[in-house]
């Protein structure tokens, strides 16, 4: 087991490499989450559409995502899209978006259905269309209620991005495994990368809590 001073020394020496890896990790996480939100909304609407065919399509998508490992999904995107010359970055981003979209769909479905049906009826009685009522009245409230589980899903997506190392994307975990293998000092670099992940999760948690508080104030 490496000493604390040794870990600190290597932490300083490898800062530039891990900083680059951290930026790539943040980029792939943010891009994938952004796409996953739209995927999740789309399939959430299919789930609540009251049309059996559309519900079945959403259920099938969610079942496939939940029934297969994320690493398999990333490899399918990576090797399946090679003929389209998709980069490692976009293979991981799309794989993570495809995966997280299913869980976000269930989050949105639950929060949309938790809004009192009377609010839809009230919007319709004011002359709004169903889509306009959904956009202006239902969805803003659903987003506020979805923030805590969405925050948890964003943190999961951040940690899941470490699987990008298996297709060669030079993100945080890849930096740690590469440097560990080159120096025969794997434990030191695993401890270092754990510190970086803890730091990122802490920052993301604080940001989510800040957004939740601002939304709670605006709801009063």
The answer to whether the beta carbons of residues 201 and 158 sit under 8 Å apart is yes
How far is residue 219's CA from residue 210's CA, in Å, rounded to a whole number?
14
- Residue whose C-alpha is closest to residue 90's, from 41, 39, 40, 27: 27
Above 80 in pLDDT, residue 150? yes
- Residue whose C-alpha is closest to residue 177's, from 196, 162, 190: 190
Above 60 in pLDDT, residue 218? no
The single-letter DSSP state of residue 171 is: S
Two structure tokens written together for 51: 């049309």
The answer to whether the beta carbons of residues 96 and 28 sit under 8 Å apart is yes
Above 80 in pLDDT, residue 124? no
Rounded mean pLDDT, 187-202? 93
For the chain, give the mean pLDDT. Answer: 86
Q: What is the pLDDT of residues 10-69, one digit of tens each?
A: 888 888 999 999 999 999 999 999 999 999 999 998 988 878 899 999 999 999 999 999
Q: Indicate the pTM of the whole model.
A: 0.88
Above 80 in pLDDT, residue 133? no
How far is residue 125's CA from residue 72's CA, in Å, rounded to a whole number?
49
Above 90 in pLDDT, residue 82? no
Domains parsed from the chain with CATH numbers: 4-219 (1.10.3720.10)
The angle that helices 52-67 and 88-114 make with each other, rounded to 10 degrees, is 130
Two structure tokens written together for 78: 């990576």
């Amino acid at each position: 087991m490496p000493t604390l001073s040794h870990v600190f020394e290597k932490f300083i020496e490898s800062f530039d490499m891990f900083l680059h890896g951290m930026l790539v990790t943040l980029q792939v996480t943010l891009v994938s989450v952004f796409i996953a939100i739209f995927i999740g909304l789309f399939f959430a609407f299919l789930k609540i559409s009251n049309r059996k065919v559309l519900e079945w399509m959403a259920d099938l998508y969610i079942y496939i995502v939940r029934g297969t490992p994320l690493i398999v999904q990333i490899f399918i995107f990576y090797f399946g899209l090679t003929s389209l010359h998709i980069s490692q970055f976009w293979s991981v981003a799309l794989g993570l978006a495809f995966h997280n979209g299913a869980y976000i769909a269930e989050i949105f479905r639950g929060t949309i259905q938790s809004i009192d049906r009377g609010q839809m009826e009230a919007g319709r009685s004011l002359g709004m269309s169903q889509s306009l009522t959904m956009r202006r009245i239902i969805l803003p409230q659903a987003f506020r209620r979805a923030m805590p589980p969405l925050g948890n899903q964003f943190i999961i997506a951040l940690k899941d991005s470490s699987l990008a190392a298996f297709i060669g994307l030079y993100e945080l975990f890849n930096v740690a495994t590469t440097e560990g293998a080159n120096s025969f000092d794997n434990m030191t670099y695993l401890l270092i990368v754990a510190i970086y992940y803890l730091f990122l999760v802490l920052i993301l948690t604080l940001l989510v809590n800040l957004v939740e508080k601002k939304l709670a104030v605006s709801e009063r």
